[in-house]
Structure 1
Amino acid sequence: MKDNIIIFLLACMGGFLFFTIHSPLPWTLGPLVITLLWKTLRKKSVYWPRPIRNTGLIFLGYAMGSPFTIQVGHQILGQLPGMLMATFATMTISLLVGWFTSRRTGVGIINGLIGSVPGGLSQMAVICEEIDGADVAVVTLMQITRVLTVVFIVPMLAIYGLSNNSTPIPLFAANAPLNYAAFLPFVVVCILSPQLAKLLKVPTPYLMGPTLGTISLIIGGYDAPHLPQYLTALAQIAIGIRMGADITFDGLKNWKSIVLYTFGGVLLVITMSLGVDYALTKFYSISFLTAFISTAPGGITEMGLTAMTVHADVSLVVAYQLFRLLSMLILGIPVIRWWLMRRAVRNVVETNI
């Protein structure tokens, strides 16, 4: 408990420091960096309870679902072709980058492909345990590098390159008086929905459960009250600490080359996605900023927060990110697994001949 309090206080200081220097996502990146530095200096791992992180995800899930409207729902249905195009383009480029990385670093084609898939970090780590020949440490390192690259670069470009309307989220800010009666239905749904999402095997249930649950209530006619900014900031702190605590480079001799090629690959994916973003702005009435964040190869949490910061269309960003993640988990990973198994069988046959 004492260590948890210390790391929390340090994380708050890190978030405030990053906020002071106008860093993108200061209340996520500040705690993440401080946690990494703290455990590196102490040469000791940091324990941060998963339930605290999950509570932070619940608050962010509500914050991401609350901007949804019926009009946004119609807009999403009308953009399914665009979601398919963006998902196919991102997946194809990412897999090509993974193949190239495997050739240059010697990590193997299996690790290269799974490590480059733009899915959830935790989901990819679990999936690689189910595939023969996959190295959990390598895949996790590649996924962490991908996530950190996107978390730092995409918000930086979105805030300082594509937006003139960014508002870093402070820890404490003036808010209108809370309407607790209006919040009550959403509180109940946000508490129960993660359990239902887990039963349905929805990715990132503590985030997507409240997001989808909040959207369902809005569709049902309820108005979602604005979440106080200090709660959003504290939720980000809880998530940032956990991200920093989970990162480790132990046991990988060639980790530098893996990180280098993965970093370069992610930059290539982000750069090439700009063409897809331009096409989306031509086909649909969305801003280039929203399209850019929607197609970025990051996670739903990080890209949702970025959209909130720059006042992009949060619901549309979450929809695109969720569509890509589900497509990868439901279709992409099974296809990759089938191809790898077929390739392994063919190699065995050729060896016996």
Structure 2
Amino acid sequence: MAKKRFVSFLLTLFIGLLGGFSFQVMHLPIPWLLGPMLFSLAGSRLWKSFTPYWPGALRDSAIIMVGYTIGLSFTMAALQQIGQQLLSMILLTAMVLLGAMGIGFLVSKAASIPFPTVLLGSIPGGLSQMLPLAEEIEGVDLTVVTFLQVSRLLMVIFFVPLLIFSPFFGLEGMQHAADLQKAAGSWNGLFPNILVYAVVCPACAILGKKVRFPSAFFLGPMISTILINLSGFAGPQLPSVLLNASQLMIGCYIGLLLKPEQLKNKLSITVLAFLSGIVLIGCSLGISYLLTRLHDVSLLTAFLGLSPGGMDQMGIIAKEVHADMSVVICYQLFRTLFIFLVVPSLIKFIFRSRLRGKTAEKAAG
């Protein structure tokens, strides 16, 4: 069994590398994230005799590297600027979530799927929080929730870079991959400071996981890096090879999450998931424009901060296009914490109130 799994891993790695090289040769945006993601997804669906395997530990290791890289971008001035935008974070995050709820209501009506199922599948950036919650609420279809969450995540990761690198954003988003290579560090510059971060970042990730901190493998390394870096112990930039490897490890993992064969009414749900994802991205773009009117941030930075994706993926894209990563991650972080701390209790209260109302109606009838 172990040998078979290792062979499956090597084949999956080969497919991911092929995707990364192909996207790089074609000069497509974020090649080492999107290429492996798309190729591993296609390979797992088209190659029937192939059972892909990608260890979760590799994805966790990659997220630790991403968290460290993004943590280096935070300065004291950036943190003070974020403190001034707290009210905007609350307002715009609420608008994004209300937009997702409205889209979820329309999808539930169009697909004749119970609203609780579609709502839990539509909350942006809440895959890890919504799946455990879905298991607790009676009548929720866990397969549909997973499909809606993963399909939205795939769409955001794929379409957001294409939109950013389109003429819509002009020269603001048209940064060549060579710029990222220049910004990356060298192998010689890693030591000795990297040794401290190599111990602290994984330790904080594991500790965060044990205390059930949201997105622990991302936030643990990021927060510890910010604290150590601001104390004066500078962290070195990672070489481009490691940055590309981290994107590949995340891309392959995400590409293998989608399992449409487990769905009932595959076609209708897939079409509605696609349309709702497009509408949600459009809503985020509109709300991003509002952020640019409230604060002195670029549309590129605002859009990445409010895009309905994950912090690690948006952080990778923000680094590639040289957006203000501190603003992007703080808005993404605020939404993640809001979803983790407030949304589950709110959803439980709403659904239990509806259930009690229906029970009372039946009793009265």
Whether these two folds match at TM > 0.5 is yes
Contact 1:119–1:329, Cα closer than 8 Å, also in 2? no
Match of 2:158 in 1: 152
How many residue pairs end up in the alignment?
353
The one-letter code sitting in structure 1 at the alignment partner of 2:131 is A
In 2, are the aligned partners of 1:45 and 1:245 still within 8 Å (CA)? no
Unmatched runs of 5 consecutive residues or more in structure 1: none
Contact preservation (8 Å) 1:116, 1:142: yes
Q: Which residue of 1 aligns with 2:177?
A: 168
Q: Pick one of 260, 265, 276 that aligns with 1:254.
A: 265
TM superposition score normalised by structure 2: 0.91
Equivalent of 1:327 in 329, 338, 355:
338
The letter for the 2-side match of 1:290 is T
**In 2, are the aligned partners of 1:11 and 1:31 still within 8 Å (CA)?**
yes
Query: Aligned partners of 2:16 and 2:180: how far apart in 1?
Result: 12
Contact 1:169–1:233 (Cα < 8 Å) also in 2: no
Runs of 4+ in 1 over 6 A off after TM superposition: 169-174
Is contact 2:285-2:307 (8 Å) kept? Answer: no
Q: Deviations over 1:132-186 (max 9, x none)?
A: 1111100011111211111111111112231344233799888532231121221
1:86 aligns with one of 86, 92, 98? 92
**Aligned residue for 2:53?**
47
C-alpha contact 1:24 1:152 (8 A) present in aligned 2: no
1:352 aligns with 2:363: yes
Alpha-carbon spacing, 1:164–1:294, altered in 2? closer, same or farther (3 Å): closer
Opposite residue 35 of structure 2, the aligned amino acid is G
Alignment-derived partner of residue 17 in structure 1: 22
Distance across 2 between alignment mates of 1:7 and 1:275? 38
User: Matches of residues 70-109 of structure 1 in structure 2 within 5 Å?
Assistant: 70-109=76-115
Q: Which residue of 2 aligns with 1:110?
A: 116
Output one character per residue of 1:244-287: Cα deviation in whole Å (capped at 9) or x when no partner: 22220123121222222222222222222333222222222211
Q: What is the CA RMSD across the aligned residues, in angstroms?
A: 1.9
CA deviations on 1:46-89 (whole Å, 9 max, x unpaired) are 12111111111111111111111111111111111111111010
1:4 — aligned with what?
9
Q: Is the 8 A contact 1:277 1:295 kept in 2?
A: yes
- Whether the 8 Å contact between 2:165 and 2:173 is mirrored in structure 1 is yes
- Secondary structure of 1:247's counterpart equals coil
1:297 alignment partner, SS class? coil
Q: Equivalent residues in 2 for 1:306-325 (5 A)? A: 306-325=317-336
Alignment correspondent of 1:28: 33
Q: Is 1:202 aligned to residue 208 of structure 2?
A: no
- How far apart are residue 203 of structure 1 and its match? 1.6
Gaps of 5+ in 2: 1-5
Alignment pair present for 1:229 and 2:235? no
Question: 2:10 is matched by which residue type in structure 1?
Answer: I
2:335 and 2:173 mapped to 1: Cα distance?
A: 28
